[in-house]
């Protein structure tokens, strides 16, 4: 039986970086995958030199470019895209703008996503959830994965939307995106040995802190691990060319040039949709996907 998944992300590229394997895996199974993107990433740093004029353009030209990148990435992953607040249910009308980092001029704009009225924005997402009736909803942990204001707001938005649903309308499963600590340490060690300097990339030190989404392995309840998704994930990463450097099939980086291992595995923690309390399990993490 086919299932329906809805993933809520802050900017174009977040969906691929955190959930590309999961989306491609479920799409290949015949499940219906929908991605709600909250902004078009207008404040993103542009990597390719020939596209630098897009960065900070007063007409937000980067937004339109990244819309195209997102469309191509979702096509590669087999997912359907929605822009938060677009009444037509697609990627057409922008309502909220990228907030940039905390304290930036972009964050002070009235249309910045971080300033969105969560009752209003939550109602827009709740309406889409009522229309789609997903079996699964996925977004970031309360700290937004790594603390970006828009990621934190995407978490709050998702909870605000779920709060507006009746019990009968709630998805059967709600997940936050996590990384088990053992994976994070293993990937960092692997990356140090992958000669990232040859590609102009750097690696965090062995003792550098991990982001908040890196948790003790026991917090993880579900894992999606599927090597067959590698071509789709790589195609989606390459589609986000303004934001992502794909150095090799196993190595990528963002504009900060910090090397990241490209893997075929992603992890999640199942949570209560009302309280966001972890629904812990004493059994090992389920590895067959996010739905039975």
* DSSP annotation of 228: G
pTM given for the model: 0.97
81, 91 in Cβ contact below 8 A?
Answer: yes
Look at residue 67 and give its three-state secondary structure: helix
Please state, in angstroms and rounded to a whole number, the distance separating the CA atoms of residues 292 and 198. Answer: 43
Q: List b or e across 244-267, with b for residues whose CB sees 16 or more CB atoms inside 10 angstroms.
A: bbbbeeebbbbeeeebbbbbbbbb
Position 292 in a domain: no
81, 74 in Cβ contact below 8 A?
Answer: yes
Please state, in angstroms and rounded to a whole number, the distance separating the CA atoms of residues 101 and 145. Answer: 14
Parent domain of 172: 4-179+212-224+266-271
Measured over the CA atoms of residue 254, residue 260, residue 266 and residue 267, the dihedral's sign is negative
Task: Return the C-alpha torsion angle 206, 208, 211, 216, nearest 10.
Answer: 50
Domain holding 93: CATH number?
A: 3.40.50.10320
Position 243 in a domain: no
pLDDT values of the chain reduced to their tens digit, one per residue, 292 residues: 899 999 999 999 999 999 999 999 999 999 999 999 999 999 999 999 999 999 999 999 999 999 999 999 999 999 999 999 887 777 878 899 999 999 999 999 999 999 999 999 999 999 999 999 999 999 999 999 999 999 999 999 999 999 999 999 999 999 999 999 999 999 999 999 999 999 999 998 888 999 999 999 999 999 999 999 999 999 999 999 999 999 999 999 999 999 999 999 999 999 999 999 999 776 778 887 898 7
Position 189 in a domain: no
Residues 6+ apart with CB under 8 A from 63: 40, 41, 42, 94
Residue 29's Cβ-count burial label (10 Å; 0-12, 13-18, 19+) is: middle
What total number of domains does the chain contain?
A: 1
Look at residue 229 and give its three-state secondary structure: helix
CB atoms within 10 A of CB 136: 24
Closest listed residue to residue 150, CA positions, set 119, 104, 184: 104
Position 187 in a domain: no
């Amino acid at each position: 039986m086919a299932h329906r998944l809805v993933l809520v992300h802050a900017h174009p590229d977040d969906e691929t970086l955190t959930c590309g394997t999961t989306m491609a895996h479920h799409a290949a199974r015949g499940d219906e995958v929908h991605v709600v993107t909250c902004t078009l990433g207008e404040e993103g740093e542009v990597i390719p030199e020939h596209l630098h004029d897009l960065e900070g353009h007063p007409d937000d030209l980067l937004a339109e470019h990244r819309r195209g990148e997102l469309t191509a990435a979702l096509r590669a992953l087999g997912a359907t895209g929605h822009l938060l607040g677009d009444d037509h249910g697609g990627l057409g009308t922008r309502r909220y703008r990228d907030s940039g980092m905390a304290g930036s001029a972009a964050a002070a704009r009235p249309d910045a996503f971080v300033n969105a009225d969560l009752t209003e924005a939550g109602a827009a997402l709740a309406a889409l959830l009522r229309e789609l009736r997903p079996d699964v909803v996925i977004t970031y942990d309360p700290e937004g994965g790594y603390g970006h204001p828009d990621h934190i707001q995407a978490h709050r938005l998702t909870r605000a939307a779920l709060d507006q649903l009746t019990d009968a309308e709630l998805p059967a499963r709600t997940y936050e995106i996590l990384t088990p600590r053992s994976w994070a340490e293993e990937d960092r060690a692997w990356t140090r040995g992958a000669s990232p300097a040859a590609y102009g990339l750097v690696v965090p030190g062995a003792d550098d802190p991990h982001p908040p989404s890196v948790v003790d392995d026991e917090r993880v309840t579900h894992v999606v691990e599927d090597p067959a998704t590698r071509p789709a994930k790589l195609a989606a990463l390459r589609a986000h060319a303004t934001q992502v450097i794909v150095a090799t099939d196993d190595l990528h980086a963002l504009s900060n040039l910090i090397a990241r291992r490209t893997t075929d595995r992603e992890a999640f923690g199942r949570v209560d949709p009302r309280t966001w309390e972890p629904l812990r399990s004493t059994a090992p993490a389920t590895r067959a996907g996010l739905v039975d």
